[in-house]
Structure 1
């Protein structure tokens, strides 16, 4: 079936390994094999599938090294809920157009590689329930990142608690403010001035002393 563009045999009871012959489907755009009992490793020649835009391999029993994926992957690469372990492979850095990367529910360890922050098209990164450690890199604001279930991770984006430097011309003149309050209190006690006049007097004194205004 050399002209096939979509192959969806997900959520069956298929077992055994993924045959390398699938790489001969040069026109395949979407391959969905998730939810089976597939085992073994991903075929090394999968990178030759130059039309592939989405690859769904989640919910299987795949293991071993993750080979170089087709650089045409754009919609999603789903390797979740398998038996992959070790460091997240640097070969994923080649997937510049990928939007969704799901590596959750495996046994990946080590740090989250910073090259993932440079995948410009990425909108979702799901790394939950692995064995990752170290600091979480800072991703762009439009990227949804799920790192739950990794006890060794720490968030490096916690805002600093150090006080902000004072800005010139923005400090409140407390002496002048005390004077305004004292004058206003005196007039109120005497009962000889209206609230409007008090407000006007306070405004003029504050303005004269160049107090900060909102």
Structure 2
């Protein structure tokens, strides 16, 4: 934890830094750090730390008890190799400056991933079909990026997915019939893309999805109550 402290305090414009290793030798009360009853670290929440360099992430990977990490609302510009597989089952990197593509190879080794949030970045490329391997995924937010291509049919494998947000990208093509396999879906937003064609009639099988709207310009929006 001291190594992590040293890396973080050199990569933020916050003043004063929210951790003080001299005053608080025990990291339990440190902002954003959560422990379980065994005093093992389970969660890190580093929101609004103004972090821009990923140097500290390899240190986080060494914490085997880590279950979730929230790095949203920072200034990170890249996803380092191995990040997805090293930081637990809940990953939040929304509202950063990420560019490049989503590292697709990671998802094959993340069957227990529950939550993935990468919204409001500058990510390009396509939505990785490998996300279909994340059978326990309950929430996926890739909205407000530069993602292009079609909706992967593999997303239909996510039968427990409850929330899917893909709005404000450059997605094209039709909604694949396989999307009707999202039986647990409660929230779906694919508006402000360039999708076209008709909504599959089998969408009615998604009993938790209550409201459907279509906007002009081949932009489809599905909302819910």
Q: Would the TM-score normalized by the shorter structure come out above 0.5?
A: yes
Say whether the 8 Å CA contact 1:125–1:146 is kept in structure 2.
Answer: no
Structure 2, unaligned stretches of length 5 or more? 1-62
Residue 121 (structure 2) pairs with residue 60 (structure 1): yes
Residue 168 (structure 2) pairs with residue 105 (structure 1): yes
Say whether the 8 Å CA contact 1:124–1:144 is kept in structure 2.
Answer: no
Any residues of structure 2 matched to 1:41-60 within 5 Å, and which? 41-47=101-107, 48-60=109-121
Q: Following superposition, which runs of at least 4 residues in structure 1 exceed 4 angstroms of deviation? A: 144-150
Distance 1:153 1:31, change over 3 A: closer
Distance 1:21 1:154, change over 3 A: closer
Alpha-carbon separation, structure 1, partners of 2:123 and 2:153:
19
TM-score when normalising by structure 2: 0.62
Say whether the 8 Å CA contact 2:82–2:106 is kept in structure 1.
Answer: no
Any residues of structure 2 matched to 1:20-99 within 5 Å, and which? 20-25=81-86, 28-47=88-107, 48-67=109-128, 68-69=130-131, 70-99=133-162
Displacement of 1:49 in angstroms is 1.7
Residue 73 (structure 2) pairs with residue 11 (structure 1): yes
SS in 1 for 2:143: coil
Q: Matched residue pairs, number?
A: 153
Alpha-carbon separation, structure 2, partners of 1:114 and 1:31:
28
Say whether the 8 Å CA contact 1:129–1:148 is kept in structure 2.
Answer: no
Which is greater in Rg?
A: 1
Q: 2:199 aligns with which of 130, 136, 140?
A: 136
Displacement of 1:104 in angstroms is 0.5
What's the C-alpha RMSD, in Å, of the aligned pairs? 2.2
Q: State which drifts further: 61-70 or 106-115.
A: 61-70
Distance 1:20 1:136, change over 3 A: same
Displacement of 1:154 in angstroms is 8.2
